[in-house]
């Protein structure tokens, strides 16, 4: 049975390294620090790799983050894998729980997380199964 968790999060993205070639896509690496609130009370740390383009609002990123905290009162850790592209402003984002990454009471966790940004505030909807 799928369960839905919702809430907000604060995020800090810090550049670690950039590579801006004379020609081709500029690449970047950044650290991610998040604080989740709501049904998921947790912190996360991770890293993001980015590729920009010469076309405005076109880019891509991949990221992995480790989440530590409680989900509907069950404690443990799990990893999230991000894959995202933006094509001239049209975004596609896929964030999934890394299979078998759950620990503690979150062992057996699977699911998808979506991000909603409204008025500059970040929210999440996490559809998950806990076997």
Q: Is the model's pLDDT at 21 over the cut of 90?
A: no
pLDDT in tens, 26-68: 999 999 999 999 999 999 999 999 999 999 999 999 999 999 9
69, two tokens: 């905290």
Q: What is the mean pLDDT of the chain?
A: 96
The DSSP code sequence of the chain is --EEEEEEEEEEEEEEEEE--SSS--EEEEEEEEEEEESEEEEEEEEEEEEE-SSTT-EEEEEEEEEEEEETTEEEEEEEEEEEEEETTEEEEEEEEPTT---GGGTTEEEEEEEEEETTEEEEEEEEEE-
Q: Residue 24: which pLDDT band, with cuts at 50, 70 and 90?
A: confident
pLDDT in tens, 67-84: 999 999 999 999 999 999
Q: Is the model's pLDDT at 108 over the cut of 90?
A: yes
Residue the block writes with tokens 């809430």: 7
Map out the domains of the chain with their CATH numbers: 3-130 (2.40.350.10)
Residue 22 has a pLDDT of 82
């Amino acid at each position: 049975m799928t369960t839905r968790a919702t809430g907000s999060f604060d995020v800090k993205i810090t550049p670690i390294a950039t590579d801006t070639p004379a020609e081709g896509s500029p690449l970047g690496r950044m650290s991610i620090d998040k604080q989740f609130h709501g049904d998921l009370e947790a912190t996360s740390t991770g890293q993001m790799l980015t590729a920009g383009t010469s076309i405005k609002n076109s880019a891509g990123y991949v990221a992995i983050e480790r989440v530590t905290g409680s989900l509907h009162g069950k404690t443990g850790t799990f990893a999230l894998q991000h894959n995202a592209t933006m094509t001239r402003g049209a975004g596609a984002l896929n964030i999934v729980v890394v299979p078998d990454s759950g620990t503690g009471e979150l062992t057996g966790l699977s699911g998808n997380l979506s991000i909603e940004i409204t008025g500059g505030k970040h929210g999440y909807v996490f559809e998950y199964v806990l076997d």
